[in-house]
Amino acid sequence: MSTAENSTPMSIEQIKERLPHRYPFLLLDRILELVPGQRVVGIKNVTANEPFFQGHFPGYPVMPGVLILEALAQAGAVMMLEDVDDPGSKVPLFAGIDGARFRRPVVPGDQLRLELTVLRQRGSSCKLAAKAWVGDELSAEAEILAVVGERT
C-alpha cells in the first residue's frame, strides 16, 4: 500500500515524544502513515527478546492477543494526540473494545502492520476500526474506543 500524500511518518523518537509508554510497554516502533482525524498505520516488530515470551508460552512463543490490541491502541493514540493542544499534558486511555477477533498467532520474527481508521470522533473520544496484519494475513481486528484525558 502506498503512503498517502498528506500523511506524516514518525520515528520511534517522535512516537516517544507523544506517548507516555516506555519499555517494556511501548509496543510501537514506527508510524508509516498518519492523517490526523482519519487514519494511522504503524509497525510493531516482534522479536524473540520480548519479555512476555518468557511465560507465553515456554517452548511455543505467541504474542498475547491483549498486547496486539494494546499496540493497535497505541497507534490510535498517536493519531489522536496529533489533534490536541499541549499533548504533553494529556494521556490516551482505552475506553472500550468491541468485536475483537484473533485470526492468526503472532510469533517472534513477525512484523505487525497496525492499521486504524476513524469511525467516529466526538470531543476527546474516538471510535476506531483496527486491524493488525502480518504480511497479507489478518492477525487481529476490533473496534476500539479511546479517550484523551488530562495527566494528573
Task: Show which residues are catalytic.
Answer: 56
E strand or H helix at 41:
strand 39-45
Buried-state track 28-43, b at ≥16 Cβ within 10 A, e below 16: bbbbbbbbbeebbbbb
90 phi/psi in degrees, rounded to 5: -115, 160
Amino acid at 127: K
